[in-house]
Amino acid sequence: MPDKPTPPGSSAIVANDPWRKLRQYTSARIALGHAGTSLPTAPHLEFQLAHARARNAVHHVLDVANLREALMARGHEVIELHSAAANRPEYLQRPDKGRRLDAASRADLQSRTISSPAYDVAFVIGDGLSALAIEANAVAFLDVMVPALRDGGWRIAPVTIVGQARVAVGDEVGELLGAGIVVMLIGERPGLSSPDSLGIYMTYQPRTGLTDEARNCISNIRDQGLSFEMAAHKLLYLMTEARRRGLSGVNLKDEAEGLPSVTASVSKNFLTDA
């Protein structure tokens, strides 16, 4: 939000906050000022606009053809699938349907020959609550992740794209593909400031009916959030550990950064560094 000069005579009505320079360190809506103790008109209406735009993001439809083309250009085999939720309104009110494939998609995967030896990992791309997040981030993330896996000898399944997808549909896809690990790339719930945030969920030995405790999550992957490189680093760590220990979920902590001792850890911030 740009600082606007305070019009003469209005300073007594709308008070600026004397910590405005902190705005450069976060995209949070800090130092908005106050009229009385309430939100001044300008930031109030900026919020209303952001909400209107986020509402639009929820209803944006994934450009599947474009995504498929980009993946194929990178040498991936691509399979298009759809959840049992027929459309957006049904998707929003029936998460159970978004967690399962529709009959045609299931039949498609069942008709394919299971790879031998089995795939080590299957990437599943789902629109989730923000197709914008997939369009902005999914291919770029795979561009970082996939070469690292190929270097490590991981056998990668065809990439699947699931329309009207919830996280758990990845488990059904992974199971039907016979993959050792499924990695679901999904559009997260749009925020006011982040309508395009990608989430990644990893499950070891995926199968229909697993719940959140069986998955590890890396969230907020986007331009102004977690970088593709850092997300790939975390995911590779989680996948390697999942395979080594034979599990995923709450019993598999993300300790990708190593284990510095508590006394050595320094929390750099201006409040305590001064």
Partner 1 sequence: MPIFSQTIAGHVHRFKSLGDLLAKASPARSGDYLAGVAARDDEERVAAQMALADVPLHTFLNDHVVPYESDEVTRLIIDDHDAKAFAAVSHLTVGGFRDWLLSDAAVDKSLIALAPGLTPEMVAAVSKICRVQDLVLIAQKCRVVSKFRNTIGLKGRLSTRLQPNHPTDDPTGIAASIVDGLMYGNGDAVIGINPATDSISAVTTLIEMLNDIIQRYDIPTQSCVLTHVTTSIEAINRGAPVDLVFQSIAGTEAANKSFGITLAMLREGQEAALSLQRGTVGNNVMYFETGQGSALSANAHHGIDQQTLEARAYAVARKFKPLLVNTVVGFIGPEYLYDGRQIIRAGLEDHFCGKLLGLPMGCDICYTNHAEADQNDMDVLLTLLGVAGITFIMGIPGSDDIMLNYQTTSFHDALYARKVLGLKPAPEFEAWLQSSGIFAAGDALKMSDTLPQPFQRALAHLH
Q: Give the nearest distance from C-beta 120 to partner 1 in angstroms.
A: 24
Q: Which is nearer to partner 1, 79 or 145 (CB)?
A: 145
Q: Which is nearer to partner 1, 25 or 110 (CB)?
A: 25
Q: Is the peptide bond before 2 cis (omega within 30 degrees of 0)?
A: no
First and final C-alpha spacing in the chain:
28
Q: Which is nearer to partner 1, 160 or 164 (CB)?
A: 164
Q: Which is nearer to partner 1, 92 or 148 (CB)?
A: 92
The C-alpha atoms of residue 228 and residue 158 are separated, in whole angstroms, by: 21
Q: Give the nearest distance from C-beta 29 to partner 1 in angstroms.
A: 3
Q: Which is nearer to partner 1, 120 or 127 (CB)?
A: 127
* All residues at 6 or more sequence positions from 201 whose CB lies less than 8 Å from its CB, including other chains: 167, 170, 183, 184, 186, 215, 216, 217
Q: Which is nearer to partner 1, 60 or 76 (CB)?
A: 60
Q: Give the nearest distance from C-beta 143 to partner 1 in angstroms.
A: 21
Q: Give the nearest distance from C-beta 86 to partner 1 in angstroms.
A: 15
Rounded alpha-carbon distances, angstroms, from residue 267 to 21, 255, 270: 21, 18, 10
The C-alpha atoms of residue 190 and residue 49 are separated, in whole angstroms, by: 14
The C-alpha atoms of residue 254 and residue 154 are separated, in whole angstroms, by: 20
Q: Give the nearest distance from C-beta 38 to partner 1 in angstroms.
A: 6
Q: Give the nearest distance from C-beta 15 to partner 1 in angstroms.
A: 7
Give which of 260, 109, 130, 264 is closest to 185, Cα–Cα.
Answer: 130
Is 160 exposed, middle or buried (CB count within 10 Å of its CB: 0-12, 13-18, 19+)?
buried
